[in-house]
C-alpha cells in the first residue's frame, strides 16, 4: 500500500441511502459538518449528541440535491441508523434505506492506484477530475461504479462502491490491470497499522460519546457557522472553554506489543490509558493513542506500561506518516 498498490475488500461497510424533500435539511441538522456542497461531494463528519459527545464517525456523499449515500463502520450500521431515524421527520418527507447488501466495496489504494484505475475505466480519473473528497460516477468494464476519493490508510486511493452483482467482475479487471505494478491483496490488519501511522481515529475506541470532536482531534469537522444542529450549543461552549482532555499519539522506541488498555504515565503518575495501539510497519515503531488531561498533553516524554513493563514513549506532534498529506492528495 505504501510502495505499490493493493486491493482491500471492504464490502462489510454499513451503507444507507437517504432521500426525500427534507433529506438535506435532516442530515444538515444531524451532522456537525457542512453538507451544503455540490452533488458528487464526499463529506467526513460526526454525529454528536446534545452534550457534544460523538455518536458516529462516518462519510456522507451527496448524490443529488436531496439524495445522500451514507457509509459507516461495519459494526455500527444498526446503531447509526437508529440515531438517524430518531432524529429525522416521521411525516414521510424523508426515507432511509439500508443498502449494505446491494453494494460491494473494493478499496484501491497505493501510489499506483490511479495507474490501475486508468487502465480499467475510460473515465477521466485525474486529480483534476476526481479530487480528494469527491465521488465520481464511472464505469469499470460493465459495472457502474461510485468512486469515492477518500481513504483510511493515508495514500492515494478510492473506495470503489460497486453493485454487488458486478464485484467479482471489477475485482478481476483490477487484479489483472495491477500485475505490472505489483498489486497485492490486503486486509483490515494492514489498514489498522497504516491508519495509526496516519493519525486517523476509530469510533468506539479513539472517539466515543464520552469525548467531543475537539478532544478527539477532529474539531476541524465542526461547522459552527452553518446554523443549528444537534449538539451545536454544547460544542460552541466546549470550543470556547478548551478541551478538558486530549487524544495524544505516541511512538515507543522499544518493540513492545502495545494495544488498547495500557497505562499512560509521566513521572510515575498514571494519566490515562491507551485507546488504540499497534505496530507501524512503515516507520518501524509501535504506535499508541490515548487520552490525557489537557494540562498534561503538551509534554514530549511519557511512559507506557505494556504487560507489566514500562517503556519510554514520545508524543507525536503530527502524523507519523505524510503529515502534509501530499501522498493522499496526489
Q: Give me the mean pLDDT over the 201-222 stretch.
A: 98
**202 with 278: CB under 8 angstroms?**
no
* Phi–psi pair at 256, nearest 5 degrees: -95, 140
My answer on whether 106 and 228 are in the same domain is yes
If one counts the domains in the chain, the total is 2
My answer on whether 167 and 252 are in the same domain is no
CA distance 306 to 259: 8
Q: How confident is the model at residue 9 (pLDDT cuts 50, 70, 90)?
A: very high
**109 with 155: CB under 8 angstroms?**
yes
How confident is the model over 21-67, as pLDDT tens digits? 999 999 999 999 999 999 999 999 999 999 999 999 999 999 999 99
How confident is the model over 267-318, as pLDDT tens digits? 999 999 999 999 999 999 999 999 999 999 999 999 999 999 999 999 999 9
CA distance 323 to 70: 27
My answer on whether 235 and 249 are in the same domain is no
pTM of structure: 0.97
Q: Give me the mean pLDDT over the 5-26 stretch.
A: 99
In the structure grid, which three cell numbers stand for residue 151, read together? Answer: 481513504
Its domain, for residue 251, covers 244-330
My answer on whether 289 and 193 are in the same domain is no
**7 with 171: CB under 8 angstroms?**
yes
CATH number for position 234: 3.30.1360.120
How confident is the model over 145-175, as pLDDT tens digits? 999 999 999 999 999 999 999 999 999 999 9
Amino acid at each position: 500500500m505504501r510502495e505499490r498498490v493493493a486491493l482491500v475488500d471492504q464490502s462489510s461497510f454499513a451503507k444507507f441511502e437517504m432521500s426525500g424533500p427534507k433529506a438535506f435539511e435532516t442530515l444538515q441538522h444531524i451532522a456537525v459538518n457542512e453538507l451544503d456542497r455540490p452533488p458528487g461531494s464526499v463529506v467526513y463528519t460526526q454525529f454528536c449528541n446534545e452534550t457534544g459527545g460523538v455518536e458516529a464517525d462516518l462519510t456522507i456523499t451527496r448524490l443529488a440535491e436531496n439524495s445522500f449515500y451514507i457509509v459507516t463502520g461495519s459494526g455500527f450500521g444498526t446503531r447509526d441508523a437508529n440515531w438517524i431515524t430518531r432524529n429525522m421527520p416521521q411525516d414521510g418527507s424523508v426515507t432511509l434505506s439500508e443498502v449494505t447488501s446491494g453494494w460491494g466495496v473494493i478499496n484501491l489504494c497505493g501510489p499506483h492506484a490511479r495507474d490501475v484505475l486508468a487502465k480499467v475505466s475510460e473515465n477521466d480519473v485525474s486529480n483534476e477530475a476526481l479530487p480528494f473528497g469527491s465521488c465520481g460516477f464511472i464505469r469499470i468494464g460493465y459495472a457502474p461504479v461510485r468512486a469515492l476519493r477518500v481513504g483510511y490508510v493515508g495514500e492515494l486511493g478510492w473506495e470503489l462502491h460497486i453493485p454487488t452483482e458486478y464485484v467479482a467482475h471489477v475485482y478481476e479487471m483490477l487484479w489483472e490491470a495491477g500485475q505490472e505494478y505489483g498489486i497485492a491483496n490486503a486486509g483490515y490488519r494492514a489498514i489498522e497499522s497504516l491508519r495509526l501511522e496516519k493519525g486517523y481515529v476509530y469510533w468506539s475506541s479513539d472517539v466515543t460519546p464520552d469525548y467531543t470532536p475537539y478532544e478527539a482531534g477532529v474539531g476541524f469537522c465542526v461547522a459552527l457557522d452553518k446554523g443549528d444542529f444537534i449538539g451545536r450549543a454544547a460544542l460552541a461552549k466546549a470550543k470556547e472553554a478548551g478541551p478538558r482532555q486530549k487524544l495524544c499519539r505516541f511512538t515507543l522506541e522499544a518493540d513492545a506489543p502495545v494495544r488498547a488498555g495500557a497505562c499512560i504515565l509521566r513521572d510515575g503518575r498514571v494519566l490515562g490509558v491507551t485507546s488504540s495501539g499497534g505496530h507501524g510497519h512503515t516507520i518501524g515503531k509501535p504506535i499508541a493513542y490515548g487520552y490525557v488531561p489537557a494540562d498534561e498533553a503538551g509534554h514530549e516524554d511519557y511512559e507506557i506500561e505494556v504487560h507489566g513493563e514500562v517503556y519510554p514513549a514520545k508524543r507525536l506532534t503530527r502524523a507519523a506518516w505524510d503529515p502534509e498529506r501530499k501522498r493522499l492528495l496526489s
